[in-house]
Amino acid sequence: MTQHFDIIIDNIGQLLTMDHRDGPLKGKEMSSLPVLEHAAIGMRDGLVEWIGTHEEAQKLKATERIDAEGKLVTPGLVDPHTHLVFGGSREHEMALKQQGVPYLEILKQGGGILSTVKATREASLEELLQKARFHLNRMISYGVTTVEAKSGYGLNRPTEMKQLLVAKQLNEEHPADIVSTFLGAHAIPPEYKGRSEEFLKEMLSLLNDIERENLAEFVDIFCETGVFTVEESRQFLQKAMEKGFSVKIHADEIDPLGGTEMATEIGATSGDHLVGASEKGIQALGATDTIAVLLPGTSFYLNKGKFANARGMMEAGAAVALSTDFNPGSSPTENLQFIMNLASLQLKMTPEEIWNAVTVNAAYAINRGEQAGKLVKGRKADIVLWDVPNYHYVPYHYGVNHTHTVIKNGRIIYRKEKLHDQFSTH
Ligand code: NIG
Ligand code: FE
C-alpha cells in the first residue's frame, strides 16, 4: 500500500471499534464489545481510512504518527443530553440543598430553573456563546466529540431563539458536533403561572420559525410534578411530531408519573432520566425503539439515594445510553467519565455496557447512529487515545481525566500536557 495518511495511531493495546450491526444495541447485545488488540488506525481528510494491525502500520506513511504505547483507543464519546447554553450559575443554592430543601421546592419558590431563566434572559448572545464554548471545550477535554444541547432557559420567544442560535453558531464555529433540542417546555415562567395550557401553545408557536431556520431537530419537555403533566406532555410532543420533529422527554426524573410509558407510546427517540420508571414502563422500553438515556450524575447530585433501574431495563431488552445531563442545577459537570464511574457503581453496568452506552447507543439517541460512535472506514475520524491500560480502567478509576489525545474530524483538538513540559524550566 502506498497510501499516505494524515495521522496514524499505532501500538494500540485495545482499539474499541464498536463495529456492531446497525441500530442501537438492545438488552443482552449491550454486553458485546468489538475490541482489536495490537491494532493501528489511519485517518485522512477527516475520515477513518484504514484499521489494521500494528505490524501492518509500520509499512504505511503518515504526516503524523502517534505511538499509543499499548494503551486504549475508542471512538469520540457522545453526550446525548445536555443543557449546554445558559446564563449564570447556581452555587448559591448549595446551602438550601444542604438544609434539605427539595429541588422541586426551590423551583416552586422561583429559584432553580427559574433563576437560570432570569440570568439567561439577561445575558447577551455573545455572553452565552462564550460561556457555552467554555463548557464545550471542557467536555472535549473529557473525550466527548458530539453533544446534544437543549434550550429551555428562555421560556419566551426571544430567549429560546437566542439559546438555539448560540448552539447553531457553536456548531458552525467549533469542531465538536452539536445536535440541538428545543426545550421551551422546561418550566412555567412567572408570567404564565397557572396558565400552562396557554404557555405550551405559545411554545408550540415557535416551532415554525425553529424549523425554517433549522434551529433544532428535537423537541423535549419536562414532565414532572408541578411542571407538565403526562397528558400535557403527550399532546405537546405529538404536535411537535406532526411538524416533523423527533422528540425526547424528561420523564420520571423525580416523581414516578408514567412519562416512561408515554414516551414509548408516542414513539419518542429517547426517554431521559427514568429514575421512577414503573415496571410497565421498563417492559415497554424493551418492546419498543425508545432509547433509555440514563443520567446517574443527576441522581448523585440530587442525593435522593435512588438511581434508574438500568439492569432491569437491559433485562427487559431496552437500549440504554448514558449522559451527563450537564446543567447548572441538577448536574453541574461536563465530565462524562465520572458518569461512567457512577454507571459502574450505582447502575451496576459492566464496562462493555458502559462503553456501548456512551458511544453507539448515545449516538442513536440523538439520531447520529450512522455518523458517530463507531470507528469504521469512511466514518468521521472522531477518536480518543486514553492514558489507561485497558477499557475496564476508565469506569474504575474515578475523579480524574483519563484522556490523552482527542481527535475530531481527523484533527487533534486536545492533548494532555506532559508534566515535564510545564515544569522543565525548573
Ligand atoms: O435534566 N429536570 C429538568 N431539567 C434539568 C435540570 C435543569 C436545571 O436544574 O437547571 C434536568 O435535571
Ligand atoms: Fe436534563
What would the pLDDT profile of 367-410 be if each residue is shown by its tens digit? 999 999 999 999 999 999 999 999 999 999 999 999 999 999 99
Report the relative pairing of strands 403-408 and 383-386 from DSSP bridges.
antiparallel
238 CA to centre of ligand 1 in angstroms = 22
Closest ligand (CA of 150): 2
According to the model, what pLDDT value does residue 419 have? 61
Q: What is the pLDDT of residues 22-74, one digit of tens each?
A: 999 999 999 999 999 999 999 999 999 999 999 999 999 999 999 999 999 99
Q: Determine how β-strand 291-294 pairs with β-strand 144-150.
A: unpaired
Q: Atom of ligand 1 at shortest distance to CA of 325?
A: 1
Q: Residue 157 Cα, ligand 1 centroid: separation in angstroms? A: 20
Substitution site in 224, 330, 339 for ligand 1 pocket (most atoms within 8 Å of beta carbon): 330
Q: Using alpha carbons only, how large is the chain's radius of gyration in Å?
A: 21
Give ∠ CA 310-373-369 in degrees, rounded to 5: 85
% of the chain at pLDDT higher than 90:
96
Q: For ligand 1, atom 6, which residue shows the shortest CA distance? A: 330
Average pLDDT over residues 215-220: 98
6 Cα: distance to centroid of ligand 1 (angstroms)? 41
Instruction: Give the residue whose CA is nearest to atom 3 of ligand 1.
Output: 222
Pocket test for ligand 1, best of 325, 326, 333 (most atoms within 8 A of CB): 325
Which of 173, 183, 179, 151 has the alpha carbon at shortest distance from 373? 179
Angle, vertex CA 360, rays to CA 357 and CA 363, nearest 5: 100
Q: What residue's CA is closest to ligand 1, atom 8?
A: 329
Tens-digit pLDDT profile for residues 157-179: 999 999 999 999 999 999 999 99
Q: Ligand 2 center to residue 173 CA distance, Å?
A: 25
Q: Is the pLDDT of residue 2 over 50?
A: yes
At CB < 8 A and 24+ separation, what contacts does 198-207 make?
A: 199/155, 200/228, 200/232, 200/235, 200/236, 202/156, 202/157, 203/155, 203/160, 203/236, 204/236, 204/239, 204/240, 206/157, 206/160, 206/161, 206/182, 207/182, 207/239, 207/240, 207/243, 207/245
Instruction: Looking at the CA of 275, name the nearest ligand.
Output: 1
Strands 4-16 and 61-67: parallel
pLDDT in tens, 89-145: 999 999 999 999 999 999 999 999 999 999 999 999 999 999 999 999 999 999 999
* Structure confidence at residue 300 (pLDDT): 98
**Residue 92 grid coordinates:** 448559591
**Range 328-356 average pLDDT:** 98
Q: What is the mean pLDDT of residues 287-295?
A: 98
Grid cell of 397 as nine digits: 478509576
How high is the pLDDT of residue 143?
Answer: 98
Cα 83 to ligand 2 centre (Å): 6
DSSP states of 333-350 as a string? ---HHHHHHHHHHTS---
- Kindly write down the DSSP assignment for every residue of 159-202, as one continuous string: HHHHHHHHHHHHHHHSSSEEEEEEEEETS--GGGTT-HHHHHHH
Which sign does the torsion angle of CA 294, 296, 302, 308 carry?
Answer: positive
* Number of the ligand 1 atom closest to the C-alpha atom of 329: 9
**What atom of ligand 1 comes closest to residue 81's alpha carbon?**
1
- 224 CA closest ligand 1 atom index: 2
The CA distance from 371 to 149, in Å, is 17
Residues with CB under 6 A from ligand 1: 83, 112-113, 116, 222, 250, 253, 298, 325, 327-330
Which residue of 79, 82, 83 sits with most ligand 1 atoms within 8 Å of its CB, as the best mutation to test the pocket? 83
* Residue 318 Cα to ligand 1 middle (Å): 24
Question: Residue 399: helix, strand or coil by DSSP?
Answer: coil
**Residue found by looking up cell 437566542 in the block:** 162
Query: What are the beta bridge partners of residue 182?
Result: 219
Residue bearing the CA closest to ligand 1, atom 1? 325
Confidence at residue 426, expressed as pLDDT on a 0 to 100 scale: 42
Q: Which atom of ligand 1 is nearest to the CA of 86?
A: 10
Q: Is the pLDDT of residue 1 over 70?
A: no
Ligand with the closest atom to the CA of 254: 1
User: Average model confidence (pLDDT) for the chain?
Assistant: 96
Kind of pairing between the strands at 4-16 and 35-44:
antiparallel
The C-alpha atoms of residue 296 and residue 277 are separated, in whole angstroms, by 14
DSSP at 252: S
pLDDT of residue 3: 80
Q: Which pLDDT belongs to residue 418?
A: 67
Which three-class secondary structure state does DSSP give residue 36? strand
How remote is the CA of residue 325 from the centroid of ligand 2, in Å? 5
C-alpha torsion 274→279→284→289, nearest 10: 40
CA of 274 to the centre of ligand 2 (A): 11
Q: Above 90 in pLDDT, residue 257?
A: yes
User: Which triple of cell numbers denotes residue 120?
Assistant: 439567561
Residue identifier of the C-alpha nearest atom 11 of ligand 1: 330
Distance 355 CA to ligand 1 centre (A): 25
Ligand 1 atom closest to 273 (CA) = 1
Q: Are the CB atoms for 358 and 375 separated by under 8 Å?
A: no
Q: Residue 409: what pLDDT?
A: 98
